[in-house]
Amino acid sequence: MFGFRRFGAPLCTGAMLTLAAMAFLRPDAAARGAAAGLALCARSVVPALFPLLVASQLIVSSRAAAWFALPMRPYLRLLRVRGRAAASALALSWLGGFACGAQSI
């Protein structure tokens, strides 16, 4: 049986050390890759998530959060979560992704 402790942890450690060594051996390529990743994030991810963050903040601060929370309450009762805002935070995170969920929490 494949166990994480037996094979996975040493494999992950070796991969991390290899990637760190590659970044030190080729710092110019690592810097170009990091810059390209940050530019891609600034061009696509941030503009895509910003409207969802604004909309989720408006929903959470208004009375509409209770309407979004209604379908989630039975699931949270099964999980024994009693917080009043937990259902709306869960609904908004499913609707808008992890960033909206973190914002509403």
Ranges of residues in the chain whose predicted pLDDT is under 50: 1
Distance CA 24, CA 29 (A): 10
Distance CA 91, CA 86 (A): 9
> Nearest CA to 104 among 70, 60, 72, 65?
60
Evaluated on CA atoms 24, 29, 33, 39, the torsion sign reads: positive
> Nearest CA to 56 among 46, 64, 44?
64
* pLDDT (0 to 100) of residue 57: 74
pTM: 0.47
Helix %, strand %, coil % of the chain (to 5): 85, 0, 15
Burial class (CB in 10 A: 0-12, 13-18, 19+), 23: middle
Structure tokens at 14: 């070796």
* pLDDT (0 to 100) of residue 1: 46
Residue pair 88/68 in contact (Cβ under 8 Å)? The answer is: yes
* pLDDT (0 to 100) of residue 25: 93
* pLDDT (0 to 100) of residue 17: 93
